[in-house]
Amino acid sequence: MQVNTSNISFVSSGTADAEAAMASLRAQYGEAGFDNATAIVALGGDGLMLQTLHRTMGRNIPVYGMNFGSVGFLMNDFNTEDLTTRLAEAKPTHIYPLSMQVVCEDGTEHSALALNEVSLFRMTYQAIKVEIIVDGNTRLTELTCDGVLLATPAGSTAYNLSAHGPILPIDSPLLALTPISPFRPRRWRGAILPNEAIVTFRTRETDKRPTSAVADNVEFQRVKEVTVREDRSRRVTLLFDPGTGLDERVLSEQFRY
């Protein structure tokens, strides 16, 4: 993929350091504006990167991040020199989102997209009870837990990893289904599913055990049923410096201790 560097737009997380860096880069390379950009440079952390990728969803505009956050798993190192060369030599990684369809207790229906994961969480001190259905077949009649999530390969190193879910290679046609603090069945640790799978979560005893559903940072409360599938009709593109791509980072993460 050859990146068109003629129209670059810069976005910032808003911290003092990121704002100063953005001002310096705009002075050197100009500012095309987000709507006219052929490439976006995001200055911040992984949270800003996710927000920016959602803004570019379906527009085929690559995003190159430079780290001003705490982790920066999705970012490159900051450097003001030779930005156009770095963009031209950057390696692309494509990510397909999860589509979440929600039916709430009041009958309202909602939808959202997730690049990392779709999660269900308990809203009170009570654990939730969830039936898990894969491609129309009930695979788990009742999971009692604090929550459960379905993660993309890109999201498998985020909350999914913290919940002891598996790390998936970035280009694998797989999804990670992972419980969060499961109580019953106690020994169930989740599943690895093909990316064509359609996963439905049905909540139980909703008055006593209210549940929220979250797609990245979009939340709906008191959900009754949540259906999740990968959306291959949309994608986003991240850019990484050669040798530091997301595939290498995901692989390296599996050997950390």
Report which residue type is found at 143.
L
Among 46, 146, 171, 216, the active-site one is 46
**Two tokens at 215?**
């797609």
- Of 87, 92, 29, nearest to 60 by C-alpha is 92
Residue 15, number of CB atoms within 10 A of its CB: 15
Confirm whether 241 is a catalytic residue.
no
Phi, psi of 242 (to 5 degrees): -55, 135
**What residues contact residue 170 under an 8 Å CB cut-off, 6+ apart?**
93, 153, 154, 246, 247, 250
Listed in order, strand segments (DSSP E) in 59-122 are 63-67, 91-95, 98-104, 109-114, 117-122
The 3-state secondary structure of 150-200 reads EECCHHHHCHHHHCCCCCCCCCCCEEEEEEEEEEECCCCCCEEEECCCCEE
As annotated, the active-site residues are: 46
